[in-house]
Amino acid sequence: MATMVQSFFPYIHIILDALWVTIALSIAGFSLGFGIGALLLFLRTFSNRVVARAIDGFIDVIRGIPLLVMLFLIFYGFPALGFQIPNMLAAALGMGILSGAYQSQIFRSLLHSVSSSQYESSLAIGLSRWESFRYVIFPQVLRLSIPALINEYTILLKDTSVAYAIGVTEMFTQSVHVSQVIMSFTYPLLFVSAIYLTICFSLSSLANHLYRKLSYGYSIREHIGG
């Protein structure tokens, strides 16, 4: 037992170095998702009923695709269309698109809590639709979304492990590689678990604290992307 732990020690830094890949990937995916989510919300808010319905349908379809399938579609499928994408970029794209669908839903569920008179009064003072969305509506929605967005980020952080499938050398991938070298999965996997847990637990405690502080009735319903 002790020798197994010892054999793992020299490789710890490999896993720790990959933590930055994990964090970079999750932040890239989250940021892309944020942009897509906000854009979808804007389009949905200011389009007629038919277009809004179409956007909702599109979001539902995207949400139905497992992350793993999305990553393979982008990484192995797109080259057939003539463009090859590096695996890290493919992972960020796939996670970003899925997260965009989820983030737009987070925003949408909170849109109704911003009163419509806010929109009317911003139009009345002469702002354009885009300006009233950008400066009046969205900031209010965003403020209420913060806890849910933090939870969404923790989901992305955990989901970076799926990028193992297309060979991104993030933390989980490296822990599997180390496991194969030392021929034991126990300690490397326990070690990465502890890192994921520390980050996710701190963030979700923060989110819960903010939920209570903002204390509005938004249900803490997490999604998992697979």
Partner 1 sequence: MLGLDILIENWQILLKALGYSLLVSLFSFILGFALASLFTVVRLFSSFKVPKWAVRAYVETFRGTPMMVQLFFIYYASPAIGINLSPFQASVIAFALNSAAYQSEYLRAGLMSVPKTQYEAAESLGLSKWGAVFSVVLPVGLRASLSSLGNEFVALFKYSSIASFVTLPELFYVARYIAAGSFRYLEMYTVLAIIYVVIGFALSKTFRKVERFFYVPGLMD
Residues found near partner 1 in the complex (CB under 8 A): 60-61, 64-70, 72-73, 76-81, 154, 158-162, 164-165, 172, 175-176, 179, 184-186, 189-190, 192-193, 196-197, 200-201, 204, 219-226
Q: How far apart are CA 221 and CA 102, in angstroms?
A: 11
Query: Cβ closer to partner 1: 129 or 223?
Result: 223
- Shortest reach from residue 120's CB to partner 1, in Å: 28
Which CB atom, from 127 or from 189, has the smaller least distance to partner 1? 189
Q: How many CB atoms lie within 10 A of CB 171?
A: 26
Determine contact, residues 47/206, Cβ cutoff 8 Å: no
Q: Minimum CB separation from partner 1 for residue 91, in Å?
A: 13
CA dist., res. 195 & res. 158, Å (int): 11
Q: What is the Cα–Cα distance from 119 to 125, expressed in whole angstroms?
A: 10
Place of tokens 């933390």: 171
Tokens 């965003």, located at residue: 142
Distance between CA 222 and CA 219 in Å, rounded? 9
In the complex, what is the shortest distance from the CB of residue 151 to partner 1, in angstroms, rounded to a whole number?
A: 10
Least distance to partner 1, CB of residue 192, Å? 6
When the beta carbons of 42 and 75 are compared against partner 1, the nearer one is 75
Q: How far apart are CA 184 and CA 13, in angstroms?
A: 17
User: What is the total residue count of the chain?
Assistant: 226
Smallest distance from partner 1 to CB 46, Å: 27
Alpha carbons 211 and 208: distance in angstroms, whole number: 5
Query: What is the nearest approach in angstroms of partner 1 to the Cβ of residue 182?
Result: 12
